[in-house]
Structures are given as C-alpha cells and as structure tokens.
Amino acid sequence: MAQLEGIAIKPERKGPMVEYSRAEVSLEFGLIGDCRGTGGHDRIRQIVVQAQQSWGDALEALELPRDWELLPWWARRGNLLIGAPFVFKPEYIGWILEFGSKVALEITGECEPCKRMDERYPGLKEALKPEMRAGVTCRVIKGGIIHVGNRVILRSA
C-alpha cells in the first residue's frame, strides 16, 4: 500500500512551491491555494501527482543522490508525491487515486515535462521524460482534506 509523502502548492504563477502537511481539495479549485486548480471539474489538469520512485529514477539519471538535498521533489512543480514503490503506467489513465477515506482524483493523462524543468536543474526535462517520471495530471472527482501519511489506493474506473 502506498501513502501520500508530500503536498506542495504553488500560490501564484511562476511562483515558488510551498510544502504543507495537509491541504483541502475541492471540485472547483483543485488544491485550495494552488494557482493551477481553478476552472472546475472540466479542467483536466487541476492537480499533478508524481511518484517518489520515479523522482528518484530521474535524480539517478542526473547522477544526483536520491536524498533530495540538492533537488527536492517539488522542484518538478508537482502537487502530490506518492511513496515508493508506486509508479505510474500509461494504462492508469482514466483510473482513480483515492487519498485517505474521502478524496478521489481521476488520472487524466501524463504530465509532460516542460522547459521550466531545465531552469530548475540542467537536464531535468530529459530525465523526466521516460516512463511517466514527471507524473500525471488529475481532476478532482471528490473533495476533502488530505494529510501527508494518508494511504493512497489506485483503482480502475
């Protein structure tokens, strides 16, 4: 069973990521306080979820230590981090991620790494391309409160 290892919110466009131990998730705004979540359920990219294992693989490809001191997980600008050994696969698009007993997100697609990744660290964009390392985009289908440490369940739709 996987668990939620991290929560990060970007309050403003191109602004810094801020880590939290808990957050509110809503249908209309995604992660409350995050600038990308607004637009409601029709928006396919309300929240970006990444896998800890995949982030470690990207760091390894960059020949960086997996301890994240040099490049923390939120440098990828994702919102939620799911613990190892979980990894995303293409067949999971359309599936549901459940956090704790309340919050549910639909996986809407692979999150393509952008040029901003190389602003964080040279070569990061390429290191994130293979095997869905950059994570997935999600839309909220059931809101509530999430906490670091919540169990995470993946189920088919």
Q: What is the mean pLDDT of the chain?
A: 91
Identify whether the C-beta of residue 24 lies closer than 8 Å to the C-beta of residue 140. Answer: no
| Average of per-residue pLDDT across 7-12 | 94
The model's pTM is: 0.93
Q: In this model, does residue 43 exceed pLDDT 80? A: no
Domain 2-149 part of CATH 2.40.33.20: yes
| 99-146: pLDDT as tens digits | 998 899 999 999 998 888 888 889 999 999 999 999 999 999 999 999
Cα(54)–Cα(59) distance, integer angstroms? 9
d(CA 72, CA 75): 6
